[in-house]
Structure 1
Amino acid sequence: MDSVASASRHCALLFSCVNFMVLASADQKNISATVGESVTLPCRAPDNSIRAIVWSRPDLEPKYILLYRDKQIDPEEQHPYFKDRVDLQDRQMKDGDVSLMMKNVMIFDSGTYECQVFMKGPNQRKRTADYITIINLTVVPVKKNITAGETVVLPCQAPNTNSNPNTVVEWSRADLKPKYVLLYCDKQFVPDHQHPSFKNRVDLQDRQMKDGDVSLILKNVTTEDSGTYECSVKIKTNCRKRANLDNDVISSITLSVVDPPGQPGGDTEDGSVGLKVGLSVFGILVLVVGVVVGFVIFKNTKEQKK
């Protein structure tokens, strides 16, 4: 009897796992967004008799993005990067809509999200969800085009920077050596390892980092500034130690810098490349040829008179 019961339990467990895999596979969705945008991750239950909702990302610790139970959002176990950035699209959950709204998405937000819905019923203590939706979110870098000589602001918004004085802000470009564009720690800039081309040309838009604004100001840009810039934010106690910063990229901006109109290598006002310069050179050549021809004619005439 024990073997039969054990076999039955294993069979039931196997059926439950297979059922979960089929359900999860059937409800998978792929969504793309650009850094700084707001995005909605869809999830729906068949009706509004919902007991609890769990939005999570298994690759994070803690993994919870949003917990909704007892008719309110529970912030206790929520991952800190999502505080004040996520909410239910409809807290009334009309027609079973339990979609997640996420503001100001970052590179860090790329990943696989799970929506689990627990329904009201006689078995209120069950641990398995009644409905599950899987969302694969991909956040892509911002692209900016700018003309050489101008000033550009590269946006980056970090959560909860006001609450901790040990916030470290790092801007970098992986294609450079050294790669660091700006390092800000202990409310001051750290010039160690900064690439020399950015000295005295970069600053934070708000050194107080109000509302998490850690955007970078880059002045007097040149074509050499073209590239992909990454913004990282970390809570640390030692600004000189940087071992854990590299994997905390929250914003990525691809900057393209072009020469100003009318300059060598740049576009002219009518869209042609270097047309005015070409015409000027042609005019000089015509003038030189005219002078030479005039001199030859004058010399021949003088010799004929002799």
Structure 2
Amino acid sequence: MRLLYTFSFVALILVKSNGFLVKGPSGPLVVRLGSSVVLPCYVDEPLPLKGLKVIWIRTDVNTLVHVYQDYESRPDAQYQDYHDRAHFFTDKIIHGNFSLRLENVRAEDKGFYRCKVYTEQESDESLVQIKEVEHLSVLGSDHPVSASVGEDVTLNCSVDSHIPPEHIQEVSWRKIDEDENILVFENKKTLLVDERYRDRVEFFTDEIPKGNFSLRLKSVRTEDQGVYICHANAGNFSASATAEVEQLGYSVLHIIVFILCIIASASAVVLTTLWYQFHRLQRPNAALLLQISSVFVPNLIMFFAFWFWGVIEGFLSETVACCAHYFLRPLLLLWVSPHSEHFPGNRKTAIHCIVHLQYSLFTNVVYSVLFQSFWEESLSYEQSDRVLITILFAIMILICIINIVFLLAELIRNKDGRMRAALDLVSDIGHDVLPPLQLIFLFYAFGTASGALFIVGVFPLFLTLTRYNWKNACVKTLEPLRSFRRAAWLCFMIVVNTIMVYSYLIALKKEKDCEGWVCVAAFLQVLWGIVVLKHSFGDLDLPFRHIVHLIGSVVVVLVNSFALMTELILKMVNGERAIEDLRKVVFSSECIFASFVLLLIIFEPFIKKFQQRFQNPARRSQQNPSSQNEVVSDETPHNPSNQNQTAAQSFELRPMLETEEQEAGRDRDGGDAA
């Protein structure tokens, strides 16, 4: 009997030693809404499949989740909510892995799950908890949004989550065909990323605590047409939704821009034609009035056209540059106009200062816009760099303001004095140091400090010494060779301006609108060349003023108005800008015109000599017409109408010859003054 008890005890120990331990996860599980999760349940050693049975039960609601029995899973035994969502890893069961894969997790799946494993001898179990189901879903607009250009639209984006909005890491908006974000909500702050949407996009701040991250897009443009993505991030989870803007049409402002371009082109042609007719009829007062009208009217109309264009389509730097240019452009045209010599009183002398005034004013505008762009990007700069760049900008603006004050004083009251001499000296020095200061500012603000240090060390010394050496030494040494001096000066300015424009390209190469800024810089440098040329050679005479006026007041306006109308039409048809930046057209054409003016001034001595060769034979024939009259009298009978015609022609020719003689006399006086 004792032997039987001993045998039974040993058998019980052996059976117990062959038992198994079911293991589960080390802690509760956190699952993302809509994702899949594995509920761990396994043993260290494989169990025999004969008589093996695995049951998964939802304990808190007493629901059967899944069953494995008789060598196969039994989906027919599942509770309905888990059909096609709960699966065994059937091929892993033979290795002792009884884990369950639960797909498309729902919020109601949160709770306790028990894994029971049975063999023929014994059983064991483990408990798994889904502690949290983090759900993050983003809902957008179901239907496309239709709007006319200039209207405001709302792109819906609702972040549905149990996570408080202040705990959402990021919500961003962008166009589907672009990589850069438009507007971002991050760390409880709203950040504008794309400058094209400045002052045009915003969140509904009061709605953010409710999970409403809809985007308000104001003053819709044709380029805004397309699909937008609202993307939300919270922890390891993210979700997106889309909204679409379609069917954009013409607005009243588009029609206004189109009409203004047509009026500008028509007024340029009509006023110039009328001026030419009154000039031929020798009516100087009417011709002068029409001349001034052809200078101001078309350009001011184009100023308003670009201003309205900026409101509906253009971006800030493009709009400001083009508007400022067309507002100041009449100054250059007034300087090169054929009737500039007819201004009364001191205006005849003071009118030569206005191109300096245009350069100073336009420089202020351009670098104010550049400084604003720098300031918006300067958060990553060191404080010392920001202070240095601000000081450089202030010095440039101060120099320009001094130039403007001096020039306005010269225009209003042309008198000598100590104050005028001091302002003249500062203005003269300012024209020399301003370009290198501009490059230093650009390299520090947008490029590299090493490039700025190179400009500091080399370029100002080279430019200033060469400039004053040119003015003081070369003018005296090469006085008899005016043409040679001007040709050498042209080569020098080509080298300097090429260096300047290339430096602009290097400094601004990281900017999106680099090409537009380079075109602005090229025109600014040509304008600077005209200013420096006037400082070096004194009063200058411009040949072919009628042709220059025709090109500047008509051809350039026609080119730019046509470019603006073409851009307007193509944007409405294609939804995208064709030229991308109108500064490429506006300032390229203006640079060509200003360069043409500069070349005519430089080669004015050559042109005068060339004209004199053809005028001298004509003058000799007019001084000694007896031989021609004798031949005519022998062959042609006397006709009074012929005499009247000849007299009319000589009447028309006489003012032109007198004007040319006056210009030649001014040229000689200007050469002596230089």
- Give the TM-score normalised by structure 1: 0.43
- Bigger Rg over Cα: 2
More helix by share: 2
More strand by share: 1
